[in-house]
Structure 1
Amino acid sequence: MTKQWRGRLDQAVHAGQVGGLHGIVAVRNGQTVLEYYGSGEDFAWGKSLGVVEFGPETLHDLRSATKSVTGLLYGIALGEGLVPPPAEPLLPRFPQYPDLATDPGRAALTVEHALTMSLGLEWSEDLPYTSPANAEIAMELAPDRYRYILQRPILERPGSRWTYCGGATALLGRLITDGTGQTLSQYAQTTLFAPLGIGGFEWMSGADGVASAASGLRMAPRDLARIGELVLAEGVWDDQRIVPAAWIREMTQPRLQTKWDAQYGYHWYIESIGDHRVLTANGNGGQRLFILPDLNLTVAITAGNYDDPDQWRTPLAVLEQVIFPAMA
């Protein structure tokens, strides 16, 4: 770790610009240039863990950054011929709901609509994730999560608009588990985590025992950074092909505009921050994985600002007040 990087971080901490920061791992050109661990109250899916002294091995909720990992797993399974390609209709993969398949509007749904969160169904996660009125929480509480998702009222033509939707990710998770015959955790361990040397992780499940493809992953920042390095290398780690390069390119191609300035690919955000193109995995509370291809840089951030409307400020400040000035 260079003094310049750590000095910039210390300034940001003392200036109150990175409130709630729990950890940072920044890797450039394959070398760790900044690693930091703080302390503070933390939660696992809303359950308080008390005040935690974070360290290199401490697992942390990734929350919705989990979605981007699920997107990677879908690409691995697609490369193995175990899941349907994006253009394939979605409802035939859920034959347990023949009544829904007869609806012409739902019959138009494809796997790509799930990958791009453009299902056109009624879905809102605007309320805190402690509220049963939040669509993702309602999905977790439903007797059948997949029926809950697929029978939501149709609001618009599929593919016409991006709407944040953890249900879309849950559908992808089900396609992965059906196609591979493994749980998400098992498949992730075998095909992604073990090849990256990631040993410690947890994939939390709902009351029905189904792992949350949308928000259940807990991982240390070092390991989250490894996932970023894998994407940066177009799916190769230690000369081993883990994710098809074609999927990395497809996954990070802008397809739809979000409600802010970012664009959305296949479960990854594509943003412009400063003069840089940034691939981003986002999670509630300030969890971020920033990948900056032009700088050959990956930055993994964990934080504890859950459900805070200004939670975006801390990870953005890490980039703008710490990373970019240290590289100037």
Structure 2
Amino acid sequence: MNYHSEEHEIWYEFDREIETTPTLVAVALAPLCGRAFESVSFDFEIEPDVLHSIKTFTQAEVVAPKGQPSLQQENRQNSTILSFSGGFDSVAAKALMTKDTHLVSLDLGGWFKREAAYFERYSPITIKTNIRQVPDQRTALTKNNWLFMATGAILCAKHLGASYHVFGSILGERFSFPASKRRIPLLESIGLIDVPVTAGITELGTTKIMLQTHYDEVADSLISLANKGDRKQYYKQAMVALLADELGLDNPVTDFSAKWDRKIPFNRSYTTALSSLYFIAHGRLDLIEPLYDEIPTSVIEFARSLTMGFMNKVNTDFYEWTPKLIRTPLFEKLSELELLPYTESDWAEIHEVREFLKNWFS
């Protein structure tokens, strides 16, 4: 790659024989461009329809040798790829999907070595790459667009005959407004439809799934997702402590202590604030209070007036766009794990919570 008068090499190393194409490589590179460049030039052929999608995605002038028209239906098997990181949300998505789902992971090296050390136990298709280190870890091109996380799935799409793609995306900030269909045209240009699996479940819900389906791996997964001094590490440990107790399980994080020094304001994270209301409503202010400089008295009083039961349930509105092939076994597994749909009383509380949190989050 040449830009800003500098030359950089980007590489991908597969752990097994995988057939990819120049067009798929171009799509994998598009998120690294994001909208940071006015013009982008590829020196290899790209299918015309996909080239148009890359132009739309980057909003740049994109030039490349013209390739043959797309053959999207070639080798199409309606299979599904899960972009798998080994975190709670990712493992929960895996637990909710059928066994023939293809797991594809990125070994990003550097700061992310912990992830690879954990997820390799699941034997995913693994692609080592330096994209999080070009030009270096702090200024990596991956900052240009989050869709770089689908790099592995993109490169493997043709080989696996995939029609559907899944992220372990949860119900976080999207809780603040009604469900809507999420389309990712860049993926659609190569025949991959984004499918919601954990989109209607909060991070408390995915933690509950993790405890029920992969209890013995909870501690290892936590180590993989953040440094011991990382706020995310404490926050996840607090959720594990709370939900393990509610499920009647021993806390798998045996050295957990409800103490934290690096405080944050209550309005730092919408998703964390939302979960905090559940902690308070369920009488565990002691677990979440150490995270904050201060939890406003009005927040504590509000949370104690609610059940917040919907946090461990499912917003089925998100699954209107899930293909029946995936939706049917998904709903069966949600039922087995006691993650039930919202009730009328849940929706009443949800509307209250949405309005209340507007006081801190626009």
What TM-score does the superposition give when structure 1 sets the normalisation length? 0.29
Give the number of the structure whose residues are more often strand, by fraction: 1
Bigger relative CO (Cα 8 Å, ≥ 6 apart)? 1
What TM-score does the superposition give when structure 2 sets the normalisation length? 0.27
